[in-house]
Structure 1
Amino acid sequence: MRRLHNSHRFMLGASVVALCAVAPLTALAQDAAAPADTTVEEVVVTGQRASIQSAQALKKNAEQLVDSITSTDIGALPDRSVTEALQRVAGVTIGRTSDGRDADRLSVEGSGVQVRGLSWVRGELNGRDNFSAKSGRTLSFEDVPPELMAGVDVYKNPSADIVEGGVGGTVNLRTRLPFDSNKRIIAYSADMSIGDLSKEWKPSGSVLYSDRWDTNIGELGFLIDLSDSQLSSRTDTISVDPYYARTDLVPGKTVYVPGGFGYRSLDFERERKGIAAALQWRPNDQWEASLQFLRSSATAASTEHAVGFNAGSSNYPAAGTSYTYDSSGRFVSGTLASSLGGTSLGSSTLDTRYAERSSVTSDYALNVKWNPNDKWSFTGDVQYIYAKTKTVDFTVFNALSGDAAAATLDLTGDMPLITMNNDESYTSNPASYYLNAAMDHHDRNDASEWAQRFDGAYTFDDGGWLKSFRFGVRNTYRESTTRETNYNWAAVAPSWGTSNTIDKLPTYQGYYSLYSFDNYFRGKVHLPATFVLPTASLVQNYAQGAALLANISSTSGGWWTVFNGDYDNLTAGGASGGVNRQKEKTLAGYGLLRFGHDVSLFGDEREIDGNFGVRVVQTESTSKGIQLFSPITLTSIPLADRNFANGAKSDYTGGRDYLSVLPSLNVRLKLTPEMFVRFAAGKSIVRPDFSQLQPFYTISATNGYTTGGACSTTIPSNASANCVYQYTATAGNPNLKPIRSTQYDLSYEWYFASTGSLTATLFYKDVYNFITNGTETIQFTNNGVTRDVLVTQPYNAGHGKIKGFEVAYQQYYDQLPGALRGLGVQANFTYVDSKGARNAASNPYDSSSVGNITANQDELPLEGLSKKSYNVAALYDLGKVSARLAYNWRERYLLTTTAANINIPAWYDDYGQLDGSIFYTVDDSLKIGFQAVNLTNTKTKILVSYPGKPEEGLTGHNWVVADRRYSIVLRGTF
């Protein structure tokens, strides 16, 4: 079944390429065969067709390789988020998990963008910096209201006048200006959406006012655009734990058995608010000024209920049963028990979790243009941007005081089948549970930047090769502060305490209930039992719930405490902790020469144009952290080592300066006025993430034993702990260099109609200075004592190659008769491959994550890189009706080298999703539409490696279903 599925996907991808090649040739032949006096009925360009025509014109006339999505209707990007819209672009893929390492929780609107397999993508707003505060480096596109956008441009190769920072590419979000229109505009959009799992209607809407006036001081324009968008969704998940290698189950053979199973349901609520305002002034033909403001805020909250039974590496066939295995020795089905011949499951985890993330980005920009004459033009630009985020993540865990009955797990079908014969009077009774533990995580981050830019251009006389010369300087000052706790798990009222079952904890009354997992997997999956879980009201109010649990913990044998808000005194254990303060200054200058002329080529005169330039940028970075010397308490350790490891904490400052020279070349050969060949070459950089630069050194000693005069970890017969075998530390690396690339593009473009094109692009990137994790010895001095410390931290290592191709085709078949002439198609296919690339552990302070990436970095591909992906969209646009049915597919890819909690590689399996929309134009003031997302009800499948097999023989870990979303939409312009 799997082989047939893959074959089907490949054949569909091949069909796309064949269609791209054949369809325009057919259309051209039909046009050529038409009589000279044939009258072609005019096609009125509106709505969806107008957006496609506008985007194609931008691509055709650009000086470099660019793909665009435009919105001619107000609030009418083709998808309900910027991220979802970007996935339709050739070479662009998106992630669908809320965090790169989280293999358990989906983001229904998508999160994270990769261009040609690389996640190092620079986000811009109107050609200026824009970022979210988590790292102060990148923009979370899912936080940006799509209703505010006039369009989105994806630049895939560099140009000297484009701000540096995107090895994968640059995504520029464009908002509107009042001078974009020559008349007053009042426009609105409104919709109501519902998910078939969440079953809750949520509204979204936007309103825009724009006008311009002739006054005594010149022409003035004003625009304001407001938006508010809400979403409610649900995902259901069944999980099978990673497999363990077992030699104790089948004599003389190694078999692989999962450690347990679980299931969860996650309710998600999101609200985005945005305001875009602009004031333009043109006093005369020489001067123009604009003042722009954009504020984007988003709040995302998820409430999760989960049940898990996780025996780990020690489960056995229940009494009177046996496991079955496939030909590779992997578990297929069986009844799991916690002991050989046992009748119960053992360890249980039943939890309710609430996570809320809020973000705000405010952007202020002033731009002044001066054109003193036909030859010269100058532009000055000043920008200030401030971003902040806040996260509260709170989980409460119940556990059964006894053992649940043995469970049968059957993996022979499309979905895992779990069967448990539990006594409901036991699983539904609060007296059967104790309040096991709680866990919280917090972060509060902010980032800001001042950016100033001055550009000029000189236009040469007509007739020569040289068209114009552009030049400019830009400097920035950015500050980023990340405050983050670890994931603080601690017991609250453990089973060994007296009277600790939840029914005997008076202050806990009303904060637990039976959870029924209503309509789980739309009723198509059997649930084994109903269990008692903490209520959502307990975890959704951290201040109240945390105080309650801390009070219970203090009297019930636990050690869980409330976070006191002091980020500065955290240690960097577990996940990252403490405060990361970064400052960065850049100074850049560029020169860009535009050229063009007719040349004699292939026996005819053909035009060549393009640009050549170089960008030079100096970067100065400063990182502030601490060095913490974990204390040694053993008095048998030599005094010098006790003086060094004395528990002291001191400030640490690091950083580096570097100069980057980034040349670029873009050349276009016009074979005909509508058929081009482009060549592009250039160098790009992407600076390290601020989390990778954090100099937070936690230095610890490994105690040793003196044996024969040498210090060793081997315990002698007369053991005495009287030496330090080794000092170790984990940290970020403030001395990291940027990742660099040299890249080439060769494209063929044929624009055979205003909404018809066929393009193909070959691309190649040579990427240097991949940031991965490793160890090196660094000397530290404390309290007058110097010691060598083996430090595990990110470092720059080696280089790799990324190469591939894109093919894209779009056309409306206007030559068809009658109503059929409204039919059209968009299709694209992308192939990407990499060699020698390295993945970086996302968190240098997580020892399990660091160890796993080091072990597997030479065997695994790049995270987020799908070799094959494609889009196919059937279009209809004629008269008052506009419709689209769009299918997006991407091949299996490595989600993360170290999935959270399980710390092994996880893969996102092949995924395809069908979305659709239809709109009817009543008149200019009203357009009615219906949109649907995930019509195919596609299940997501997460795969994981099993022991010793990083990429081979992957096993199912998570099976997930998400809402089918439906929206009723109203749009209009006055």
Structure 2
Amino acid sequence: MQRLDSSHRKLMLAGASALVLCLAAPSVVFAQQTAQDDQTVEEVVVTGQRAAIQSAQKIKQNAEQLVDSITSTDIGALPDRSVTEALQRVAGVTIARTSYGRDVDRISVEGSGVQVRGLSWVRGELNGRDSFSAKSGRSLSFEDVPPELMAGVDVYKNPSADLVEGGVGGTVNLRTRLPFDSAKRIMAFSADMSIGDMSKKWKPTGSALYSDRWDTNIGELGFLVSLSESQLASRTDTISVDPYFARTNLVAGRTVYVPGGFGYRSLDFERERKGIAAAVQWRPNDQWDAALTFLRSSASQASTERAVGFNPGSTNGPAAGTTFTYDSAGHFLKGTLAQSPGGNSLGSSTLDTRFADRSSVTSDYALKVNYNPNDKWAFSADIQYIYAKTKTVDFTVFNALGSDAAPATLDLTGDLPAITMNNNKAYTSNPASYYLSAAMDHHDRNDASEWAQRFDGAYTFDEGGWLRSFRFGVRNTYRESTTRETTYNWGAVAPSWSAPSINNLASYQGYYELYPFTNYFRGATNLPATFILPTASLVQNYAAGGALVAKLAASNGGWWGTFNGDYDSLTAGGSGGGVNRQKEKTLAAYALLRFGNEVSLWGEAREIDGNIGLRVVKTESEGKGLQLFSRNNTPTVPAAELAFGNGARRDLTGGRDYVSVLPSLNARLKITPQMFLRFAAAKSIVRPDFGQLQPFFSIGATNGYLNGSVCSTSIPDGAQSNCVFQYTATGGNPELKPTRSTQYDLAYEWYFASTGSLTATVFYKDIYNFVTNGVNTVKFTNNGVTRDVLVTQPYNAGHGTIKGFEVAYQQYFSFLPGALKGLGTQANFTYIDSEGARNAASNPYDTSQVSSLVGGARDDLPLEGLSKTSYNVAALYDLGKVSARLAYNWRERFLQTTSAANKNIPAWFDDYGQLDGSIFYTIDDNLKVGFQAVNLTNTKTKVLVSYPGNKAIGLTDTNWVVADRRYSIVLRGTF
């Protein structure tokens, strides 16, 4: 397996060394810092970067739970274009870099998923309330939320009873601003222009905020409105080598491993995100106040991809007159590939242009009323309505070479694969060499909504005793989620044996081009050849382009056709196609007792405080789906089998009710006013995805042959199927229970300065009721006939553990002389390990995924998204008019998916580190100008695949990806 290149290894070692120095530094400088705090506090004006770090540290220091926070200044201090990117700076938080978990061929430059302590079961909140995107109605796509609208983000790693249930990994709460947050009027704006060095397109981002408060004859009123719009253009280039095949016919007496083909692609990505947050607050007197808030975020993500692939497959071999070179383990290193050993052609080609457009909107309306009748009692009532929708249109058109390409040379001995096509340019540049081979489309249209109401109360005890306050509350929700999806519908436009060349298709003229792949991999690798691909204009307009391609298919012997928009007529079920309608009700009640007092420990009085509580929640779920009996079209099988497999289709309804009891304890011992020990213990749950809960079964027959009285799949000479060997089905499971955890944290925290701290946490999670996929025999009756059916579906199985530790340190070196006192550093390191965990197929209705997980073949794999180690190191500077930050984020290799799309084997992301930076200059009290840069190291993303059941192949590189370096010029103002 190839590792990081030399420059990245040096940078990784430098980052690790910096982390060690940072963690060692406290013993040298803390005493100096403490001794000089009194002198420096008068000299340092805490604004900008320092103020943000100080605010986030105060939240963590004063919280009763284990919390990490980032503020709006932190979010804007680096070129983090989404909440997802900002969260990767937090200890224990990592992000994914694919828009769709199984699609490892397409990298998301902004990041697309959040894991807390290696777990993707993260609950997203907005101001302490539910927030979600409509894909499954369960989780929030943080990348769809404009970071410009946020006041801050809090990451809760161990809950208390008053926090809403649903995050085994953790809870991420997005906080928006309220007008009463400031004592005065605020008007602020931010504007920037960004460009990628590969996309070469300037794109703007802008935001504006107005907030004010007034004393009126009906009390104090406040109003706030914040608007944002952000655009981004980026490009990624990818070189791919297909999975390897074990071969015994290429080298006498030896097994060698040869890739099935190769390809390359370039993807242009454009994203537009808009948001509005508005709030009205009213405080008629000291006893009452109310806040009405609204937030709407919308995002559109469009990608246009050009791809070239040659896939001779498992029968390939050295071209005539050539041989392959292998390493000592028998892995292919270089050679000239032909479709078969000694052949003179490479085989079929795949030359496509693809356009995918995803749009999403989430709207959130909330009203909260607080009533404080006296110093003892406090009450609040809260009501929320949230509605989310998404829509995706994905359309691909394929050209192909009419004659097989000549053998091609593949060389894997360098840092990047080198591909040499042996066809002459006159052949690959001639439209007469191509035909329009196929098309593929995919659609989804989803929506989800929820009403949520809660009532909370609190009683404050008299001072002097152990009891500080008692909190209690109830919460009720009603959620509906409808997911409508098609499969990826591939179909031929023209069969290869009868297809006309594209220059003879009159209506196709103007819809193909010789695509140049300009500045591919920034010139780091040579393009193997230039090919003719469909134009972007053809695939970017599905209505017109799809109609054209469908018409060509109808007239040239193909069968591809456009989608008619009727999701209900689809029969694949769940995420594989069709409609999944889910309803869910919850009713929760909690009680929480806050305590605190001084005790005598180690000869001195020390304070202990915290809370202990219990949350009880009842969940009622109901789903609507289908039961499908595939038609058996073999008339020679018995009549009873034909009656059972008659193509029947009937509606199904299913669900379950369950009660979860969730105790929690958060305790803090103040060794000194600045040094704490914390202990936390809690039970938590995460509910199954709605796709897994759908009541759906698709039942089909595997026909066989009678040998005496035994039905088998062995085929006698000249025999016809005359029995059913086995019935199988894939399905969802509305009876699934939630995944549960019992978790513990032990933390040490030292806050030695207002912007200086050293913290360390050890954590342990015992997780059970994992959702995985398994096989059970279930009896089904149809048309009066009952049969045993081997059903593969999600189920709850076993348990596992997650354990590890986090260390974090931050400090400004204010004791240094002159301009050096502006220097500072932030660093954190996380280690995570797991045992006994299992992964479920992301789509239980996709047989290629399910079969790869059933039977224990994947039990030795870690949880998806879990890196054993990760760290952040940042160099800070903030003094006078200059504020700067240079931050390096790194995570160890991790399993991205157990079943990569089109490969159906596990895929891993290799070690990845990225350096980002920013510098800002304060022009005056109102204006600030800055420059930001992302991916300064030009880091390559490397994807690897593994081969369960054939450990000899091991991990092999499959994708090499480069993305833009991105630069931004920023102007910010506050008045």
Q: Does TM, scored on the shorter chain, surpass 0.5? A: yes
1:45-99 CA distance string (max 9 Å, x none):
1111110000000000000100000125996676221111000000000011111
Residues of 2 paired with 1:76 and 1:807: CA distance?
22
How far apart are the structure 2 equivalents of 1:904 and 1:917?
40
The CA distance in 1 between the partners of 2:480 and 2:42, in whole Å, is: 59
Shift of the alpha carbon at 1:403?
Answer: 1.7
CA displacement 1:720-765 (0-9 Å, x = unmatched): 5332222111011111110000000000000000000000000000
1:384-395 pair list within 5 angstroms: 384-395=385-396
Corresponding residue for 1:821? 821
Residue pairs, 1:547-586, within 5 angstroms: 547-572=547-572, 576-586=576-586
Matched with 1:597 is: 597
- The answer to whether structure 1 residue 54 and structure 2 residue 59 are counterparts is no
The structural deviation recorded for 1:28 is 2.5
The answer (yes or no) to whether the contact 1:74–1:189 under 8 Å persists in 2 is no
* Deviating more after overlay: 556-565 vs 570-579: 570-579
1:452 is matched with 453
- Counting only pairs closer than 5 Å after superposition, residues 480-629 of structure 1 correspond to structure 2 as 480-497=481-498, 500-572=500-572, 576-629=576-629
Which deviations, in whole Å up to 9, do the C-alpha atoms of 1:694-735 show, x marking residues without a partner?
222111112233333233333456845332222111011111
Pairing 1:431-830 to 2, within 5 Å after superposition: 431-497=432-498, 500-572=500-572, 576-716=576-716, 719=719, 721-830=721-830
Identical aligned residues as a percent: 78
- CA deviations on 1:919-966 (whole Å, 9 max, x unpaired) are 011112210000000000001110112474469731111111100000
Cα distance, 1:638 vs. partner? 2.4
CA distance, structure 1, for counterparts of residue 462 and residue 221 of structure 2: 33
d(CA) in 1 for partners of 2:244, 2:887 = 37
The verdict on how the C-alpha distance between 1:399 and 1:279 changes in structure 2, with shifts beyond 3 A counting, is same
Whether the 8 Å CA contact 1:126–1:172 is kept in 2: the answer is yes
Shift of 1:179: 0.2
* DSSP-derived class of the 1:923 partner: coil
Q: Residues 955 and 717 from structure 1, CA distance in 2 versus in 1: closer, same or farther, beyond 3 angstroms?
A: closer
Is contact 2:410-2:419 (8 Å) kept?
yes
Which residue of the partner structure matches residue 181 of structure 1?
182
Name the SS for the 2:323 alignment partner.
Answer: coil
Contact between 1:303 and 1:352, CA under 8 Å: does it hold in 2? Answer: yes
1:197 aligns with 2:198: yes
Q: Match for 1:27: what amino acid?
A: V
Is contact 1:486-1:574 (8 Å) kept?
Answer: no
CA-to-aligned-CA distance 1:452-492 (integer Å, 9 cap, x gap)? 00000000010000000000000100000000000000000
For the residue of structure 2 that corresponds to 1:342, the secondary structure is coil
- Output the CA distance in 1 between the equivalents of 2:69 and 2:455: 26
The offset of 1:31, in angstroms, is 4.4
* Counterpart for residue 868 of structure 2: 867
Report the counterpart of residue 21 of structure 2 in structure 1. 19
Distance apart, 1:421 and its partner CA: 2.3
The residue type paired with residue 62 of structure 1 is A
Q: How does 1:391-402 map to 2 (within 5 A)?
A: 391-402=392-403
Q: Distance in 1 between matches of 2:948 and 2:682?
A: 42
Give the TM-score normalised by structure 2: 0.98
* Distance in 2 of aligned mates of 1:335 and 1:371: 80
Q: Give the letter for the 1:507 counterpart.
A: S
Partner of 2:384: 383
Counterpart Cα distance in 1 of 2:788 and 2:733 = 17
Letter in 2 for 1:216: N
Amino acid aligned to 1:618: K
Structure 2 residue identity aligned to 1:546: G
What is aligned with 1:963? 964
Tell me, yes or no, if the aligned pair for 2:360 and 2:389 is still in contact at 8 Å.
Answer: yes
TM superposition shift of 1:316: 1.1
Distance across 1 between alignment mates of 2:202 and 2:18: 37
Q: Structure 2 matches for 1:136-215, cutoff 5 A?
A: 136-215=137-216
Distance 1:536 1:950, change over 3 A: farther
Per-residue deviation, 1:14: 5.0
Aligned equivalents of 1:369, 1:214: Cα separation in 2: 19
Deviation per CA, 1:335-389: give whole Å up to 9, x if none: 1111222232111100000000000000000000000010000000000000000
Q: Distance in 2 between matches of 1:405 and 1:62?
A: 67
| Partner secondary structure for residue 922 of structure 2 | strand
What is the DSSP-based 3-state SS (H/G/I as helix, E as strand, rest coil) of the residue aligned with 1:568? helix
Instruction: Tell me if structure 1 keeps the 8 A contact 2:573–2:625.
Output: no
Greater CA drift, 470-479 or 688-697: 688-697
Structure 1 residues 40 and 232: alpha-carbon distance in aligned structure 2, compared to 1, 3 A threshold:
closer
Counterpart residue identity of residue 724, structure 2: V
Is the CA contact (8 Å cut-off) linking 2:351 and 2:533 kept in structure 1?
Answer: yes
Instruction: Please tell me the residue identity of whatever aligns with 2:148.
Output: E
Kept in 1: contact 2:184–2:212 (CA 8 A): yes
In 2, the alpha carbon distance for the partners of 1:64 and 1:752 equals 20
Q: Does the 8 A contact of 1:434 with 1:494 survive in 2?
A: no
Residue 604 of structure 1, CA deviation: 0.6
Mapped to 2, the partners of 1:660 and 1:950 lie a distance apart of 42
Change (3 A) 1:717 1:556: closer
Contact 2:78 2:916 in 1 (8 A): no
Structure 1 residue 777 displacement after superposition: 1.4
Pair 518,403 (structure 1): closer, same or farther in 2 beyond 3 Å:
same
On the 8 A contact 1:292/1:364 being kept in 2, the answer is: yes
> How far apart, in 2, do the equivalents of 1:951 and 1:611 lie?
53
Contact kept? 1:343, 1:405, Cα under 8 Å: yes
Tell me the alpha carbon deviations over residues 134-192 of structure 1, each in whole angstroms, 9 at most, x when there is no partner.
01000000000000000000000011000000000000000000000011111000000
Taking the aligned partners of 1:247 and 1:951, their CA distance within structure 2 comes to 13
Partner of 1:279: 280
Evaluate the alpha carbon distance shift between residue 950 and residue 589 of structure 1 in structure 2; reply closer, same or farther with a 3 A threshold: farther
Q: What is the match of residue 83 of structure 1?
A: 84
What is the match of residue 30 of structure 1?
32
Match of 2:333 in 1: 332
SS at match of 2:877: strand
Give SS of 1:547's match.
Answer: helix
Partners of 1:924 and 1:74 in 2: CA distance: 21
Q: CA contact under 8 A between 1:280 and 1:291: conserved in structure 2?
A: yes
> Using a 3 Å threshold, how does the CA distance of structure 1 residues 387 and 886 change in structure 2: closer, same or farther?
same
Contact 1:76/1:147, CA 8 A, preserved across alignment: no
Q: What are the within-5 Å matches in structure 2 for residues 304-323 of structure 1?
A: 304-323=305-324
Q: Provide the residue aligned with 1:415 in structure 2.
A: 416
Does structure 1 retain, via aligned residues, the 8 Å contact 2:912–2:941? yes
- Asked whether 1:265 is paired with 2:259, we answer no
For 1:846, the equivalent position in structure 2 comes to 846
Q: Is the 8 A contact 1:574 1:846 kept in 2?
A: no
**2: CA distance, partners of 1:794 / 1:31:** 56
CA distance in 2: counterparts of 1:242 and 1:73, whole angstroms: 42
- Taking a change above 3 Å as real, the CA distance of residues 341 and 530 of structure 1, as seen in their structure-2 partners, is same
Distance 1:396 1:839, change over 3 A: same
8 Å CA contact 1:75, 1:189 repeated in 2:
no
1:783 and 1:774 mapped to 2: Cα distance? 27
Structure 2, unpaired ranges of 5+: none
Give me the whole-angstrom Cα distance separating, in 1, the residues matched to 2:647 and 2:81. Answer: 52
Q: What SS does the corresponding residue of 1:642 show, helix, strand or coil? A: helix
Q: How has the CA–CA distance of structure 1 residues 193 and 629 changed in structure 2, closer, same or farther, with 3 Å as cutoff?
A: same
Between 1:436-445 and 1:839-848, the stretch displaced more is 839-848
Separation of aligned partners in 2, 1:780 and 1:111:
41
The 2-side partners of 1:387 and 1:972 are apart by: 33
1:766 touches 1:802 (CA, 8 Å); kept in 2? Answer: yes
Counterpart-to-counterpart distance in 1, 2:157 and 2:5: 34
User: Structure 1's 542 and 743: CA in aligned 2 closer, same or farther, altered over 3 A?
Assistant: same
The whole-number CA distance in structure 1 between the counterparts of 2:865 and 2:634 is: 47
